[in-house]
Amino acid sequence: MSIIKIVRRNIMFKPLQSLVACCVVMASIAMAVLVLLLADGVHSGLTAAAEPFPIVAGSKGSPNQLVLNTVFLKDTPMSNISYTEVEKLRANKNVAMAVPFGYGDNYRGFRMAGTEKEIFNYVINPQRGKWLQINEGRAFEAPFEAVLGARMAAMTGLKVGDTFKTSHGMVEIPGSKGHAQEYKVVGILKPVNGPYDQSILTDIKSIWAAHAGHGAAVQGVTGVLIKPAGYAQALAVLSQYRNNKEMQVVFPSQTIIELFSVMGDAEKVLQIISYAVILLSLIIIAFTTYWAAAMRRHDNAVMRAIGAGQKAIIKINFLQGMLLSCIGTAAGAALGHGAFAALAYLLREKTAVNLTAGFTLQEGIMIAVVVAAAAVFSFIPAAAACRRQAADDL
Amino acid sequence: MLLEIKNVFKQVTEPSGEIITVSHAEHLMLDKGGQMLLTGPSGSGKTTLLHMIAGLLSPSGGEIYFDGVRIDNMPEKERDLWRARNIGYVFQKLNLIEALTAEENILLAGYFAGGNMAELKKRAAMLLERVGLANKKDTLPGKLSIGEQQRIAVVRAVINKPVLLLADEPTASLDAENSRIVLGLLRGLCSENGTALILSTHDESVKEQFDEWFDIKGGRFITHEHH
């Protein structure tokens, strides 16, 4: 016989009641955790996806569309700029590297990104190392050779040596006539944990050749990835192109921040919801622990009558309340992370954007507050039980 | 002298504001190992008096002495320990912990008194054998008959060999046969262990088995005249 055994017996004796108490706590914590993770994960996921693109250049128009095109491989490609602009950028002393990207074709919905071999030497920063690394095969050397993103290769089953034909446009339209040229898979990339996992990289000359008969601008590019020579040089590039009538230069991370500031109200609403959910979970925990303690009032009186001291009664009630609350909280946190992982998976399947959110400080504080509240809510009825005259509850 | 009660009473305030006395005992004494029957109609304050003796309810006035020590004004913590070591209690309602098995209910009282678990288990097994419930030790109270539950309650009350056993209408919900068994058990176990017994009842058939009883309503001892 021990306090733990009494607590365990009490919990197991009314499994449904214990389960309901746990589930109520679990559901509210899971909801709060999910809201917190989403608020954090969407922001960091988009920012991480933009990391390989310090600056992008493209034709004048919506900066959001340019970022969606180049960073996220989404939306209709903007009109092209001339390849000579890439050469001009390369000659710019503020630019360390300029790599063109041309979009416009797809294979089974996966975007072709025409670029140049130099992209395989692109180093994001010394810590991250090379952005695109070959996992299998080699980089493309000639037109109509293709290097597949890791996820794209896994999803389509294409292997090095296989050939495929692309279609014009961003999505495959059943029955539509594709390009006549055949691409040969020469390499597969290591995962980059971003949208380019779902891309097909090829020499931009392939795209030009494929569109030679479509009346598209010859030797045009949709966007240019610019690696500035340094922070001051990045600002200089931005300044040089500020008044350019043909081209725009944007910082994708800045665009994302602006996007988030436009959505600021939505984020605030999300934050208010998460606080409301946390408050609700505290109320629920208070209610469930009080309810459980009220149900034990008679047993407490019996135990006191047969010799249990106040300490023992407080221990039993406190442990029981804490155990149910902690199990519910742990299960809720796990469920919240599980639901977030499922949502992140769905989003990754669709966009290859990785929603990354681990155990945040905010979540840690929330769990600590909930556990502390559960401790208080468990202690109050336990102490109250001892203040009552045992005879009143017999 | 084990127990002495001097002008103990309990008053409660009615919702109307009127103060009423729910239990009153002018003077009552019990020797060590003695057995006393406490009688009176329902609502006469028997249960309240037993609760006050056990320290489960504070009296509104008066003094209660146990083995020469005043207990009615003892601090709560001290009184809990005193109760665990000295008092056994059989309730009017069965009051077994539903989540615990028959054996665990018995051991619980020993655990709170700080007893040696191995010895308690041995004694519990012996007592369960004695009350004919050895095969029901792992059964939950809900699966036992009322008579069986009351026998478990009696074993629980005597597991620590208390100095004083308080039994509040222990036969109230039992049939004649079970009533006889439980009463015999209580008196037998108390005699064997030198435990004093105060047994409250309003049952006339129980009175038949005692020579003398204390009538709470009249506030005096009545000697039974055997026919």
Are residues B51 and A394, on separate chains, in Cβ contact within 8 Å?
yes
Considering the domain architecture, whether residues A89 and A175 belong to the same structural domain is answered as yes
Selection from A169, A122, A132, A168 nearest residue A152 by Cα: A132
Among residues A200, A234, A262, the one where a domain terminates is: A262
CA nearest to B90 within chain A = A306
C-alpha distances (whole Å) from A108 to each of A49, A76, A167, A199, A349 are: 23, 16, 8, 11, 14
With CB atoms and an 8 Å threshold, state whether B160 touches A307: yes
Q: Which of A246, A262, A278 is the last residue of a domain?
A: A262
- pTM of the complete model: 0.68
The confidence score (pLDDT) of residue A170 equals 61
- Interface touch A394/B84, C-beta < 8 Å: no
Nearest to A85 by CA among A99, A64, A103: A99
Interface touch B56/A10, C-beta < 8 Å? no
**CB of A2 closer than 8 Å to CB of A309:** no
Determine the average pLDDT of the residues in B61-81.
Answer: 89
Domain check: are A257 and A338 in the same one? no
Task: State how far residue B78 is from chain A, nearest Cα, in angstroms.
Answer: 9
What domains does chain B contain, in order, with CATH numbers? Answer: 3-223 (3.40.50.300)
Q: Are B88 and B170 in contact (CB under 8 A)?
A: no
- Number of Cβ within a 10 Å radius of residue A295: 12
Angle of the A15-50 helix axis to the A252-262 helix axis, nearest 10: 130
Edge-first strand order for the sheet with B196-201 is B87-90, B164-168, B196-201, B35-39, B212-215, B220-223
Answer with the one of A237, A262, A287 that is the final residue of a domain: A262
pLDDT for residue B118 is more than 80: yes
| B109–chain A nearest CA distance, Å | 6
> Is the Cβ pair B156, A306 closer than 8 Å?
yes
The three-state DSSP-derived secondary structure of A318-329 is HHHHHHHHHHHH
Task: Tell whether A72 and A183 lie within a shared domain.
Answer: yes
**Total domain count for chain A?**
2
* Chain A positions in Cβ-Cβ contact with residue B98 (cut-off 8 Å): 13, 299
**Residue A275: burial class (beta carbons within 10 Å; 0-12, 13-18, 19+):** middle
Is the predicted ipTM greater than 0.85, yes or no? Answer: no
Q: What is the pLDDT of residue A150?
A: 93
Give how far the C-alpha of residue B100 lies from the chain's centroid of Cα atoms, to the nearest Å: 21
Whether residue A211 is found in the same domain as residue A122:
yes
What is the rounded distance in angstroms from the CA atom of residue A151 to the CA atom of residue A133?
Answer: 14
In this prediction, residue A185 carries a pLDDT of 95
What DSSP assignment string belongs to B72-112?
TTS-HHHHHHHHHHHEEEE-SS----TTS-HHHHHHHHHHH
Contact A53, A225 (CB under 8 A): yes
A285/A271 same-domain check: yes
Q: How far apart are CA A341 and CA A318, in angstroms?
A: 34
B91/A304 touch (CB, cutoff 8 Å), yes or no = no
Query: What is the structure's pLDDT at A284?
Result: 77
Q: Are residues A180 and A309 in the same domain?
A: no
Residue B199, both tokens: 């047994």
Which ranges in B24-175 belong to alpha helices (H)? 46-53, 76-86, 102-112, 117-130, 146-158
pLDDT in tens, chain A (394 residues): 788 999 898 888 888 888 888 888 888 888 888 888 887 777 777 888 888 889 999 999 888 889 888 888 888 888 888 899 999 999 999 999 999 999 878 898 899 999 999 999 999 888 878 899 999 999 999 889 999 999 999 999 999 999 998 887 666 566 666 666 889 999 999 998 888 999 999 999 888 887 766 555 468 889 999 999 988 999 999 999 988 888 999 999 888 877 777 666 666 777 687 778 778 877 877 887 777 777 788 888 888 888 888 888 888 888 888 888 889 889 999 999 999 989 888 887 777 677 777 777 888 888 888 888 888 888 887 787 777 777 777 7
Whether residues A330 and A244 fall in one domain: no
pLDDT at B192 over 60: yes
Nearest-CB residue to B99 (from A10, A307, A391): A10
Q: How far apart are CA B51 and CA B54, in angstroms?
A: 5
Domain match, A379 and A307 both: yes
Which of B89, B98, B117 comes nearest A1 by C-beta? B117
Q: What's the mean pLDDT in B86-102?
A: 87
Residues A352 and A226 in one domain: no
SS3 B162: coil
| Beta carbon pairs, A and B, within 8 Å | 84
Rounded to an integer, what distance in angstroms lies between the CA atom of residue A199 and that of residue A47? 19
Query: A84, exposed or middle or buried, with CB in 10 Å at 0-12, 13-18, 19+?
Result: exposed
Q: What percentage of chain B reaches a pLDDT higher than 90?
A: 29
B92 close to B169: Cβ distance less than 8 angstroms: yes
Contacts of B49 in chain A (CB under 8 A): none
Contact state of B110 with A304 under an 8 Å Cβ cutoff: no
The boundaries of the domain holding residue A347 are: 3-47+263-393
A233 and A126 in a common domain: yes
- Cβ neighbours of B167 in A, within 8 Å: none
**Per-residue confidence (pLDDT) for residue A15, from 0 to 100:** 86
Four-residue CA torsion sign, A26, A27, A32, A34: positive
Phi–psi pair at B121, nearest 5 degrees: -65, -40
The verdict on A197 and A103 lying in the same domain is yes
Cβ separation A391–B99 shorter than 8 A: no
Domain identity same for A256 and A176: yes
